């Protein structure tokens, strides 16, 4: 058997999702006469819609693969964006330590989520929802005194490009490749799949399941921090509602599920998650071209998630039978 058919079979879900989404996007652009959407700049604009949600979904993918979930990511994005503005205060020289500080705080929040789930046995839904509410409360109380803005040089992250490709897209691609290699080429990745597939069996095999779960949540926190840093660059300053209004918590879960990752854990891929994010980016772009109310896109997203879960459930039952 050649490697090409094997590759296509393994990546059937992401290939199908991307192909259908691309056809819908191209068809809509032609039907509405908006041919500028088909130029390099138009396509790059479509791909850049993926950046913030893509980063969060990558982290959410790690958590779900481990058999957990994270509902604190939206508020953590807001915290990260606000802290980035506060640390930088418009000073170019402060960019370095501000980025490190934000990522450190975000990863620490992820570790707290992991400790609550793995060491204290708190339900992931309750633990991460509680942490998210704490973050939201802190933002509400502290935002009046946390003022600041990012320097113009830092906004190159959101608005700069290399050979016509946005820098933010290159960052997302690099992070996605690193995540895929970590899951498929490292012992830690194998342990993650094992814990998500069957935590008891993994424990009997000598895998420290608590560390795996904590590590997955730390990655989710780190990715939320990156998303917050990107949004701060995009907006020029952090706002306490940027994560919540973006719906990154539920949308990241939905993108992961659409991409074929099992909510129960143990099965999924980075390629599938990126394809799920691409579907959502395409929906937003198509609705903009058709000038349809953006709120209706949430209805369509919900229907897609329900259908995807139904299809994957039916397929898995058939496979088991």
Q: In Å, how far are 7, 66, 188, 191, 217 from 183, measured between CA atoms?
A: 17, 11, 7, 9, 15
pLDDT 10s digits, 160-219: 999 889 999 999 999 999 999 999 999 999 999 999 999 999 999 999 999 999 999 999
Confirm if 195 and 207 have CB atoms less than 8 A apart. Answer: yes
pLDDT, mean over the chain: 89
Confirm if 133 and 228 have CB atoms less than 8 A apart. Answer: no
Confirm if 160 and 43 have CB atoms less than 8 A apart. Answer: no
23/8 Cα distance (integer angstroms): 19
The encoded tokens of residue 60 equal: 């959410």
**In DSSP terms, which residues pair with 166 in a beta bridge?**
161
296/250 Cα distance (integer angstroms): 16
What's the whole-number mean pLDDT along residues 132-152? 85
Per-residue pLDDT at 265: 85
What's the whole-number mean pLDDT along residues 99-122? 96
Per-residue pLDDT at 237: 85
**In DSSP terms, which residues pair with 162 in a beta bridge?**
165
Torsion from C-alpha of 130, 131, 133, 136, nearest 10 degrees:
180
Per-residue pLDDT at 47: 94
pTM of the model: 0.91
Does residue 85 surpass a pLDDT of 60? yes
Per-residue pLDDT at 183: 94
Q: Label residue 115 by pLDDT band (50, 70, 90).
A: very high
pLDDT 10s digits, 163-173: 889 999 999 99
What's the whole-number mean pLDDT along residues 21-40? 92
Q: What is the DSSP string of 162-230?
A: ETTEEHHHHHHHHHHHHHHHHHHHSHHHHHHHHHHH-HHHHHHTT--HHHHHHHHHHHHHHHHHHHHHH
Q: Label residue 152 by pLDDT band (50, 70, 90).
A: very high
Does residue 133 surpass a pLDDT of 60? yes
Dihedral sign for Cα 217, 218, 224, 227, please. negative
Q: Label residue 262 by pLDDT band (50, 70, 90).
A: confident
What's the whole-number mean pLDDT along residues 138-151? 80
What's the whole-number mean pLDDT along residues 238-255? 88
Per-residue pLDDT at 4: 53
């Amino acid at each position: 058997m050649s490697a090409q058919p094997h590759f296509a079979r393994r990546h059937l879900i992401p290939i199908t999702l991307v192909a259908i989404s691309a056809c819908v996007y191209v068809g809509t652009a032609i039907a509405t006469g908006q041919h500028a959407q088909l130029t390099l700049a138009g396509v790059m604009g479509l791909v850049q819609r993926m950046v913030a949600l893509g980063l969060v979904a990558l982290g959410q993918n790690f958590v779900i693969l481990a058999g957990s979930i994270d509902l604190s990511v939206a508020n953590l994005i807001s915290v990260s964006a606000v802290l980035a503005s506060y640390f930088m205060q418009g000073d170019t020289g402060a960019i370095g330590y501000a980025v490190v500080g934000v990522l450190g705080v975000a990863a620490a929040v992820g570790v707290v989520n992991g400790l609550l789930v793995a060491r204290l046995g708190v339900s992931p839904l309750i633990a991460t929802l509680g942490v998210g509410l704490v973050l939201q409360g802190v933002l509400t109380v502290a935002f009046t005194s946390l003022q600041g803005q990012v320097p113009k040089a830092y906004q190159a992250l959101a608005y700069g490009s290399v050979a016509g490709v946005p820098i933010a897209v290159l960052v997302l691609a690099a992070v996605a490749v690193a995540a895929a290699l970590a899951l498929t080429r490292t012992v830690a990745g194998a342990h993650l799949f094992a814990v998500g597939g069957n935590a008891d069996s993994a424990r009997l095999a000598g895998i420290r399941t608590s560390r795996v779960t904590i590590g997955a949540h730390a990655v989710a926190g780190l990715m939320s921090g990156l998303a917050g840093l990107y949004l701060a660059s995009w907006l020029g300053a952090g706002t306490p509602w940027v994560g919540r209004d973006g719906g990154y918590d539920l949308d990241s879960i939905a993108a992961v599920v659409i991409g074929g990752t099992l909510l129960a854990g143990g099965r999924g891929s980075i390629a599938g998650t990126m394809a799920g994010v691409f579907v959502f980016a395409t929906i937003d772009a198509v609705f903009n071209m058709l000038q349809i109310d953006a709120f209706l896109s949430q209805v369509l997203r919900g229907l897609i998630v329900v259908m995807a879960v139904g299809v994957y459930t039916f397929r898995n039952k058939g496979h088991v039978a």
